[in-house]
Amino acid sequence: MKKQLFKAAFILGIGTSALMHAQFASVIPDAALPTVAGPVLRPQNAGSSTMQNVNFSLGGGVVSPGTNLYVHSWDVFSSAANNGIAWRRTNAAGVLQNQGHVIIPYAEDIDVAIYEANGRHYVLAAYYYNDPANPATRGHYYRICGFTPAGVVLGGQTLLTLSASFGRINVDANTPYGLAITWCVPGTGIYVKAAQLPAAAFGCNLLLPATAGFKDPDVAIRRSSGVLDLEIVYLANAENQIQEYKISLFNVVGCSTAGLTLQHTVATPNLFSSPRVDCPDQLATAKFTYVYSEYSTVAVPPNVNVTEDIRAVVYNSAVSPVPTNLLVHSAAYTTGFYNRNNPVLAYDAAGSQITVGWITKENTAVIPGTANVKYLAQYVSDPGPGLPVSVPGSIMMVSNTQGGPAPVLAFSGQNNHSSFDGINTAFSQYSTVFPGNYAMLYKHKPFASATFRTIGPVSEENETTDETLHLYPSPFTDYISFTAPLKGNYNVQVYTIEGRLVASERFQSESNDNIKLTTGELPSGMYVVKIQSTENNINLIKKIAH
């Protein structure tokens, strides 16, 4: 799970036009989170986590196979007593089984991660606690919450460190291996804490050396070739330097900084946004990516000229001993006030494609002008054996509706344990309808889709063609086949005409290999086949009869 905190540089003025970037519009409808009664006003932060295709315990020895679990967190400027976690549970077909929310009063910067231990599911939640009536209790805390058939049940609140000042906090979970929490105490430094699964018994609060001048940490748990490491990234207080370290999870559990290794650092004469890190949970190859934005602003009253670069630092041990720093997207525009980009990211299930999302006010075809906030995303490809690349022409809208003055965006992190098929997003959105101008919304994006647009009916307008791919048999029986025109990875998915996923598989093929997806027995009718190969620029959406 990755999330972002809104910090705006308010400079009065009205947005003006700028160069327009083409992008795919989103056609997945935005859905409201099941949060507090009435609108969520001025959302400040968001988090997202998911586990899919799991055996979920219903109690009494009864297990529901193929269950999908989702959690989102939110916190608010204007009603901190109503901060909390929203949750959903669906069956294998994506049909909603249950949803709701739990409140954690005065919890700020809530981060969440779902994990499994001893056949049951839990949510690790961590946050900065700020009860205005009890200032002596301000500090960082965490809870282990049960995910039961009735929903998320809050566990007891456990103190990490007292802190009179706010500091960012983030978590990660990697089933069946471990849990991790990292947080910042201003003036003291960056802490990290870890636990092994299934016991989930955390070690000490480990203060990383020489980090008093740093803030906004993030953490991801990586297992590769039997090694279990934490990837930790943080930002200098002056916001002009980022450092990325690795350390053994076992050493952190044992309260030791032995093996703490600086893997990458970047500096700028401009400013950086808070970095975010993700990595494939379980691969033979060591991989990680962290994202950030480098930006500069020049006041031209009553407006401000903005230059922003969205960047991804991608490490693949099979390709290069050093990370590759990629420019994902660049924009320059004039606006009334600037919102930081605060990029987020998520690997796909195979660990070969990274989706990078960010906040911007740049001019777009879907939401023209530079006065309004937009949520955009783009792909980075890292299948090997070549260096990772930013995928040109893959920029997309996360939502077609403008964000609010307090924009936030979250992507669920990679979770190979649960055979997940896409990114779960959470974001704040602005509505012109009063009351309730702000709301927390979500949507799901399967990895095989070209953009945030594959849930819902498919019409003739969103079909695409590719002359190099020919599906057969047509009508199909219990399988669909085609010949791979080029070497590469192919994501193949089959949906009902209403948008329900019924078959999915990922193939790694040589040129001219026959690819065969077994669908099993399906009712007669029309279906939608989607085939994507990022490195070969293939994106096929095709109706086919059964």
* pLDDT tens-digit series, residues 312-361: 999 999 999 999 999 999 999 999 988 889 999 999 888 888 999 999 99
| Residue 216 pLDDT exceeds 90 | yes
Cβ–Cβ under 8 Å, residues 147 and 155: no
> Quick one: which of 185, 187, 85, 70 has its CA closest to 144?
85
Q: Which of 452 and 239 is assigned the larger pLDDT? A: 239
pLDDT score for 38: 47
Residues 6+ apart with CB under 8 A from 62: none
Q: What is the pLDDT of residues 471-509, one digit of tens each?
A: 999 899 999 999 988 888 887 878 776 556 678 787 888
- Predicted confidence at residue 18, as pLDDT, reads 46
pLDDT of res. 498:
55
Position 359: which residue type?
Answer: I
Name all domains of the chain by residue range, CATH numbers in brackets: 8-446 (2.130.10), 460-545 (2.60.40.3080)
- Encode burial over 150-161: b for 16+ CB neighbours within 10 A, e otherwise: ebbebeeeeebb
Instruction: State the pLDDT at residue 351.
Output: 86
Residue 13: band (very low, low, confident or very high) from pLDDT cuts 50, 70, 90: very low
- Maximum Cα–Cα distance across the chain: 70
CA distances, 431 to each of 41, 174, 264, 401, 428 (Å) = 11, 37, 41, 8, 10
Which residue do the tokens 């590769």 mark?
Answer: 224
pLDDT interval class at 237 (50, 70, 90) = very high
The whole-number pLDDT of residue 10 equals: 25
Residue 94 has pLDDT above 70, yes or no: yes
C-alpha angle with apex 158: 155 to 161, nearest 5 degrees? 155
CB 219 within 8 A of CB 225: no
Cross-strand bridge partners of residue 148: 151
Residue 463 and residue 27: Cα distance in Å, rounded? 13
For the chain, what is the mean pLDDT?
84
State the Cα–Cα distance between residues 83 and 109, nearest whole angstrom.
9
110-130 confidence digits (pLDDT tens): 999 999 999 999 999 999 999
Lowest mean pLDDT among 9-13, 270-274, 414-418, 451-455: 9-13
Provide, rounded to the nearest whole percent, the portion of the chain with pLDDT above 70. Answer: 84
Dump pLDDT digits (tens) for 15-51: 333 455 556 677 666 777 765 544 455 566 788 888 8
Quote the pLDDT of residue 456: 35
pLDDT of residue 527: 85
pLDDT tens digits for range 176-191: 899 999 999 999 999 9
Residue 463 pLDDT:
47
User: Is the per-residue pLDDT at 384 higher than 70?
Assistant: yes
In 3D space, the residue among 154, 145, 214, 164 whose CA is nearest the CA of residue 184 turns out to be 214
Lowest mean pLDDT across 104-118, 165-179, 319-333, 401-415? 401-415
Q: Encode pLDDT of 53-75 as tens digits.
A: 788 999 888 998 888 899 988 88
pLDDT of residue 314: 97
What percentage of the chain has pLDDT greater than the value 90? 49
* Alpha helix segments (H runs only) across 228-347: 249-253
Provide the sign of the torsion angle of the four alpha carbons 147, 153, 154, 156, taken in this order: negative
Asked if 344 and 276 touch (Cβ cutoff 8 Å), the reply is yes
Please check the confidence at residue 228 and state whether its pLDDT lies above 50. Answer: yes
Confirm if 179 and 194 have CB atoms less than 8 A apart.
yes
Instruction: Give the lowest-confidence range in 126-130, 135-139, 245-249, 394-398.
Output: 394-398
Residue 309: per-residue pLDDT: 96
* Pair of tokens at residue 183: 């947080």
| pTM, entire model | 0.81
Contact 400, 323 (CB under 8 A): no
Confidence of residue 430 (pLDDT cuts 50, 70, 90): low
Helix residue ranges per DSSP H, 89-197: none
Q: Which residues pair with 532 in a beta bridge?
A: 491, 539
Distance separating alpha carbons of residues 443 and 440, to the nearest angstrom:
11
